[in-house]
Amino acid sequence: MENKKIIRLFKLTAELMELHDENPFKIRSYGNAVAALELVEEPLEGKRQAELESINGVGKGIAAKIVELNETGSFAELDQMLTATPPGVVEMLRIKGIGPKKVRVIWKELGTETVEELLEACEQDKLSKIKGFGAKTQENIRQAVLFTQQNRGKMLYAEAEPGATELLQAIREALPEAQVEQVGAIRRRLEIVEKLQFVVATAAPAAAAEKLSQVDVLQQQEQQSGPLVWRGSHTVTNLETEIKLVPESKFAAEVLLQSAAVAHITTVVADGKSLLTLARGGAYATEADIYKAAGMAYVEPELREGTTELQLALENKLPNLLELDDLKGILHNHSTYSDGANTLEQMATYCRDLGYEYLGICDHSKTASYAGGLREGDVMRQQKEIDELNQKLAPFKIFKGIESDILGDGSLDYDPDILASFDFIVASIHSSLNMDEQKATARLITAIENPYTTMLGHPTGRLLLRREGYPINHKAVIDACAANKVIIEINANPWRLDLDWRWVQYALEQGVILSINPDAHHTSGYHDMRYGVYMGRKGGLTKEMTFNAKSAEEVEKYFRERKEQIR
């Protein structure tokens, strides 16, 4: 079992124990285990109990539960808690803004055992009558429930991708003679996945469908299936799954048609014909042959969204998309100085060992006290350590940064003399998120116009499938960044992916440089960089317009010259 899943199950156990008002010391033991395991780099799977007990912060009991998880997928205490809890109450724990204590009150005092019943209680104004809630809390919960319901059956790309890749391999093993390709949302690198889709080339669709139904991780819905399409679900991700069965002569065409937005394939591109018409009307060996028949350059799957890519392909002006290997450094990261799991030196050496030239450390600023934000003395102490590490790790470079909270009036945390001590500043909103578009936009623009702001962090504050971002006027914000030469990050954390890829093209048209930032709170967070690259590519991002594709020397020069303009 992956480390992340083990940690997630321990978190769930702690929540369930709190829900049932169990012994606080037992609850804390799981919380401590989670904190300890988040620092572990190597896989927990396959380790013996004695090895697990040697991990700092992991005792005999937790080690035994990890062994049990790896062997059975669960452990006795978790099973007992789940048995004692209605499934709908467990689902309530996933709703943003409702902790175990509130869920217990909802369950015990209202007798509410499903998310649907909770929504009904909100709409009938029952929840506000309970002590500790009130009208505002009730409305927030109602909105959170609606958001959760809208996102049922959906999964983050980063969570769906491993299961989809394993399923692709399983299908290929079940049908070794067939051509098999993964298509749909995964191939287009969409941030949210609702369905896993595949295309199989076979001369015997009935026999192929029979073999697919024997794949362990697939569960067929026979009434939804047909002679040329297998439909069902993937039991690992619980995502709806669709497998098209086509003759070999139609394989390339079907792969293209299932790997593009409707607008991409239906727009007329050649002699009154669309890619859909061309694909359906002939036999092609590859997708590239279909684009060639349309007089177009090949369009990468992540670009097939029906925006400007068709015209660019007709003019042979498609961008050379950013590659992960183009990135030279990793900016916007956190350490144990604030709420990170690793020390500054650990973050730096791991970054260096991955082959990067530089690290930008951006711990939280003082207003973010909930995240251990740095007070002025902490800033000086950290910057002194950075100077020492830069001597020790040279030529690797650590840049002195901060993720400065954008306060309610749009100003930045710290006085100007402290702001001036940093090499660069990422300005982000973390508090007072319930804003209308006008207020949120004005707040961001005020921060962007601050001469100390180098980069705008996660512009909308969204958490995909968890929390909607505050509404902003993207054009106004991007225009302000262009006017003030402020970089915009594409936050590569799979829950954020913010700036949204749909606004990347507009940012590039305005001349705004983007930076792929992981917002890493742990060394493992660096591996999220690829998700940010995927989102940049979907918007047409190139190496030339990516800030952290610059060398350490170029970045240092940029920061120095920008600071000189303030004086």
Q: Where are the alpha helices (DSSP H) in 134-249?
A: 134-150, 157-174, 184-187, 205-212
Separation of alpha carbons 177 and 105, rounded Å: 57
Contacts of 501 (CB under 8 A, 6+ apart): 191, 490, 535, 536, 538, 539
pLDDT digits (tens, 9 = 90+) for 330-348: 999 999 999 998 999 999 9
What's the mean per-residue pLDDT of the chain? Answer: 94
Q: pLDDT higher for 554 or 138?
A: 554
pLDDT band of residue 475 (cuts 50, 70, 90) is: very high
Tens of pLDDT, residues 11-28: 999 999 999 999 898 899
Nearest to 226 by CA among 239, 214, 242, 247: 242
Nearest to 189 by CA among 556, 560, 533: 533
CA dihedral of residues 437, 440, 443, 448 (deg, nearest 10): -90
pLDDT score, position 420: 96
Each residue's pLDDT tens digit, 300-332: 999 999 999 999 999 999 999 999 999 999 999
Domains located in the chain, CATH noted: 3-150 (1.10.150.20), 164-314 (3.30.460.10), 324-566 (3.20.20.140)
Percent of the chain with pLDDT over 70: 100
CB 522 within 8 A of CB 340: yes
Least trusted range by pLDDT, from 108-112, 186-190, 281-285 = 108-112
567 pLDDT more than 80: no
Residue 293: what pLDDT?
A: 95
Q: What is the pTM of this model?
A: 0.84
Amino acid identity at 375:
R
The first and second tokens of residue 166, run together, are 């394993």
Q: Which pLDDT score is estimated for 464? A: 92
199 strand-pairing partners: 181, 244
DSSP for residue 193: E
Region of residue 329 (phi > 0: left; psi between -120 and 50: alpha; otherwise: beta): beta
Per the listing, tokens 């100007």 go with 416
For residue 291, give the nearest of 321, 253, 263 by alpha carbon: 253
Whether pLDDT at 518 is above 90:
yes
pLDDT digits (tens, 9 = 90+) for 240-257: 999 999 999 999 999 999
